[in-house]
Amino acid sequence: MVHDVDGFRPLQFERFDEERMLARARAFEAELGRRRSVRHFEREAVPLEVIDRCIAAAASAPSGAHKQPWTFVVVTDPLVKARLREAAEAEERANYAGRMNPTWIEDLRPLGTDANKPFLEDAPVLIVVMRQAWGIGADGERLQHYYTSESVGIAVGFLLAALHHAGLATLTHTPSPMGFLQRLLGRPENERPYLLIPVGYPARDCLVPDLVRKELDEVRVRI
Ligand code: IYR
């Protein structure tokens, strides 16, 4: 009896008949399919309670040995955003001026990106997701963490889905290298910047690249 073991409790699981399952799967696919990365944001504020609920949903993700090796830094201070923008743009100018090879530059052409990152100031919220390479115990000792990249990646997937579901637009931004985030945010040495996510309402005239997604047959093999 698995549920009579110390430290275990019954699972709360909702089972649906097959018709309902398929309808739910299709509806979720359609909703996630409408998500697009947005690079032009309204400067309008968003409810921070919504951000908190989405972060709580993200933090329900599975993680290696349940160590929950993540920190979500919510930046709204215009001064901090301005500093982040300045530092990110300095790195990106070097990237676009030669640190990225010609193939990379060519691959980015359909996205229309360049070294200018106004969304870092326009978006009302920047969520900087930190990966905890190790934990810090009550006495300051190092605690082992496991599969931190996989764990944080899954949590970020949850976060992007939750924010989209709540009606907010997001961008997955990886300014590179990200060392300046560590410095400007004053985070402890066990935390490594993983991803920067601008969050807000899309600009009224926002355009997104006319991208085509791979067909199911291209991404799924049945064996
Ligand atoms: N970090 C740069 C370049 C960039 C790289 C990839 I891969 C993208 O999908 C998009 C951009 C920038 O932010 O412009």
Using one digit for the tens of pLDDT, what is the confidence trace for 110-146? 999 999 999 999 999 999 999 999 999 999 999 999 9
In 53-203 the beta strands, taken as DSSP E runs, fall at 70-75, 125-132, 134-136, 142-144, 169-170, 191-200
Closest residue by CA, ligand 1 atom 9: 108
More confident call, 159 vs 177: 159
Q: For residue 64, what is the domain's CATH number? A: 3.40.109.10
Q: What value does the mean pLDDT take over residues 60-83?
A: 98
**Ligand 1 contact via 111 beta carbon (within 6 Å):** yes
Classified as helix, coil or strand, 74 is: strand
Q: How far apart are CA 127 and CA 168, in angstroms?
A: 13
Helices (H), 115-147: 119-122
Averaged confidence pLDDT in the chain: 96
Cβ contacts of residue 177 below 8 Å, gap of 6+?
A: 91
Specify the pLDDT at position 81: 98
pLDDT band at 176 (very low <50, low <70, confident <90, very high): confident
Domain span holding position 109: 37-202
- Is 106 inside any structural domain? yes
30: in domain: no
> What share of the chain has pLDDT > 70, as a percent?
99
Give 18-39 as a 3 state SS string.
Answer: HHHHHHHHHHHHHHHHCCCECC
What pTM was computed for the model?
0.96
Q: State residue 4's pLDDT score.
A: 72
Residue 92 in contact with ligand 1 by CB distance below 6 A: yes
Buried b (16+ CB within 10 A) or exposed e, 24-34: eeeeeeeeeee
Cβ atoms of residues 200 and 42 within 8 Å: yes
Within 10 A of 18 (CB to CB), how many other CB atoms are there? 7
Q: Is the pLDDT of residue 3 over 70?
A: no
**How, if at all, do strands 134-136 and 191-200 pair?**
unpaired
State if residue 108 touches ligand 1 by the CB under 6 angstroms criterion. Answer: yes
pLDDT digits (tens, 9 = 90+) for 14-26: 999 999 999 999 9
State residue 1's pLDDT score. 57
Q: Is 50 in the pocket of ligand 1 (CB under 6 A)?
A: no
Q: Is position 42 within any domain?
A: yes
Q: Tally the domains of the chain.
A: 1
The answer to whether position 191 is within a domain reads yes
79-98 pLDDT, tens digit each:
999 999 999 999 999 999 99
For residue 4 the two structure tokens come to 């009579």
Ligand 1 neighbourhood includes 60 CB (under 6 angstroms)? no
> Encoding tokens for residue 175?
């300014």
Let me know if residue 7 belongs to a domain: no
- Ligand 1 contacts CB of residue 116 (under 6 A): no
Supply the residue whose CA is at minimum distance from atom 13 of ligand 1. 175
With cut-offs at 50, 70 and 90, classify the pLDDT of residue 223: very high
The mean pLDDT of 179-200, rounded to a whole number, is 95
Q: Is the pLDDT of residue 56 over 90?
A: yes
Q: Is the C-beta atom of 105 inside 6 A of ligand 1?
A: no
User: Which one of 174, 195, 196 would you pick to mutate in the ligand 1 pocket, going by the greatest count of ligand atoms within 8 A of its CB?
Assistant: 174
| Residue 122 forms part of a structural domain | yes
Query: Is 92 contained in some domain?
Result: yes
Long-range contacts of 203-206 (CB under 8 A, 24+ apart): 203/40, 203/41, 203/42, 203/122, 204/42, 205/40, 206/38, 206/40, 206/41, 206/169
pLDDT tens, position by position, 141-153: 999 999 999 999 9
- Does a structural domain hold residue 3? no
What was the pLDDT predicted at 2? 56
